[in-house]
Amino acid sequence: MPHTPHRRHFLALSALGAGTWFWTAPTAAARRIAGANERIGVAIMGLSRGLHLARTFARQADAVVLTLCDVDRRRLEQGVAELNKLTGRTVTAVVDCRKIMEDKAVDAVVVATCNHWHALASIWACQAGKQVYVEKPCSHTPQEGEWMVAVARRYQRCVQMGNQRRSWPVIREAIAALHQGAIGRVYQAQAWYLSRRGSIGRGQTTAVPGWLDYELWQGPAPRRPFRSNVVHYNWHWFWHWGNGELGNNGIHTIDLCRWGLRVHYPLQVTSSGGRFHYQDDQETPDTHTVALLYPEGKQIIWHGYSCNPLPGLQAPDVLFTGEKGTLAIRGGSYTIYELDGKIRQQVKGETSDTIHVRNFLDGIRQKQPLTSDIEEAHKSTLACHLGNIAQRVGRTLRCNPSNGHILNDPQAQQLWSREYAPGWEPKGV
């Protein structure tokens, strides 16, 4: 049975200035693990995105998938059958993730559940001495993101968010080029998300299907009757469980915008949009524009089109505007344009989840820093939360640029955190 000894104090990080983390020399425990070539025992929660990640972890020579967890028994059985076949091992199946937290053989937990579970599962995992790979958005509310950073630091855990673009080599090269002045002073970043989603229709309150443990699916969220058009995936479009398209896909590119601009917390956040394309149960916008103003005259604008991919327009994923040119990111590639429109440089790159998973495993072994450590992940997720809060209250937010906290707006400030189902509140945060 693989076992990582001495998880506590496994990782030593020290903060030196805003948003910058430097690694201390590997601890004795970390050197022993690398030397002993022990495999990192992984447990995975949520088997849609999580099953894809399970396959990726299972293919890494230095990791072993020990446990799969889902509250949907069909997905759990299918996932375990597939992983058993892929690995030639017997993977443990669990419905209740608290069993994972108690299992000493598990070194790392992958949280790929619905968003309302991300923080609680990550906090429990850190408190149990485990490393965490948590899908984006890392939290469901700003408060949860702050708790996650605090808990990761207190327990000295590696907590990586699943915004895989942070690890793609050509994207890293593009951001480094920006930081080295490739387009001069960069003052604006825009991002687009384009899709062709259908309507979620009108659901009804129905009996909970026999394959689902709905009590565990709801977990920390206050109880609501089961509705026919929420599980699976459509929970993204209800504020009670999801964060809309901004938290679902906006987070990927807003993170690149923030990274490229080297900004942390906004001064002002404006939102405009709505459920314009379809009239159905969806609460979150399908057409959404958010503008975030940061200190030093820098701006991020996100355009979300969930139901019309603007065919023919060829919008990039991200476009940086600078004094001497523009830099566009599409997929894993980038192009630098001169101010007169001539292409100066074009670099093609791959898109890959594996490299981000490798970074997480190498981060645990202290071979390299995490590319998306929870503190940076929180700042980008917070930008999305603030955009959604501005949308929900219907006015511009003013924020404290040292921590992103909302100023002078009690109604908006209420959305900084959420109510929890009794007994499910995160503890020790």
Chain-centroid distance, C-alpha 16: 24
Q: Which is nearer to ligand NAD, 164 or 270 (CB)?
A: 164
Task: Kindly state the DSSP code that residue 164 receives in the 8-state scheme.
Answer: G
Question: How near is the Cβ of 111 to ligand NAD at its closest, in Å?
Answer: 8
224/247 Cα distance (integer angstroms): 22
Q: Which is nearer to ligand NAD, 135 or 286 (CB)?
A: 135
Question: How near is the Cβ of 169 to ligand NAD at its closest, in Å?
Answer: 18
Question: How near is the Cβ of 122 to ligand NAD at its closest, in Å?
Answer: 12
DSSP of 3-24? --S--TT---EEE-STT-EEEP
241/228 Cα distance (integer angstroms): 15
Question: How near is the Cβ of 101 to ligand NAD at its closest, in Å?
Answer: 12
Tokens representing 178? 């920006």
Question: How near is the Cβ of 185 to ligand NAD at its closest, in Å?
Answer: 31
Question: How near is the Cβ of 221 to ligand NAD at its closest, in Å?
Answer: 10
Q: Are 107 and 81 contacting, i.e. CB atoms less than 8 angstroms apart?
A: no
Q: Which is nearer to ligand NAD, 81 or 339 (CB)?
A: 81
Q: Which is nearer to ligand NAD, 4 or 115 (CB)?
A: 115
Strands 159-161 and 298-305: unpaired
Q: Which is nearer to ligand NAD, 28 or 208 (CB)?
A: 208
Phi-psi region at 67: left, alpha or beta (left = phi > 0; alpha = psi -120 to 50)? beta
Q: Which is nearer to ligand NAD, 161 or 293 (CB)?
A: 161
DSSP of 219-267? TTSPP---BTTTTTTGGGGSTTT--HHIIIIIHHHHHHHHHHHT--S-S
Question: How near is the Cβ of 69 to ligand NAD at its closest, in Å?
Answer: 5
Count how many residues are written for the chain: 429
Question: How near is the Cβ of 140 to ligand NAD at its closest, in Å?
Answer: 9
Tell me whether residue 19 is exposed, middle or buried, using C-beta atoms within 10 angstroms of its C-beta: 0 to 12, 13 to 18, 19 or more: middle
Question: How near is the Cβ of 128 to ligand NAD at its closest, in Å?
Answer: 15
Q: Are 244 and 236 contacting, i.e. CB atoms less than 8 angstroms apart?
A: yes
76: nearest Cα among 105, 46, 54, 98:
46
List strands edge to edge, sheet with 268-274: 343-347, 333-338, 325-330, 318-322, 186-194, 298-305, 287-294, 268-274, 397-398
Q: Which is nearer to ligand NAD, 164 or 391 (CB)?
A: 164
Q: Which is nearer to ligand NAD, 135 or 376 (CB)?
A: 135
Q: Which is nearer to ligand NAD, 10 or 217 (CB)?
A: 217
Which SS3 state, helix, strand or coil, does residue 109 take?
strand
Q: Which is nearer to ligand NAD, 46 or 322 (CB)?
A: 46
Question: How near is the Cβ of 328 to ligand NAD at its closest, in Å?
Answer: 21
Q: Which residues pair with 272 in a beta bridge?
A: 289
- Residue numbers at the binding site for ligand NAD (CB under 6 A): 45-49, 69-72, 75, 97, 112-115, 117, 135-136, 162, 164, 216-217, 219, 232-233, 248
Q: Which is nearer to ligand NAD, 136 or 379 (CB)?
A: 136
Question: How near is the Cβ of 381 to ligand NAD at its closest, in Å?
Answer: 11
290/245 Cα distance (integer angstroms): 12
> Which long-range CB contacts under 8 A does 209-214 form with residues at least 24 apart?
211/72, 211/73, 211/74, 212/71, 212/72, 212/73, 213/71, 213/73, 213/95, 213/96, 214/71
Question: What contacts 377, CB < 8 A, 6 or more positions away?
Answer: 134, 136, 138, 145, 159, 160, 161, 163, 255
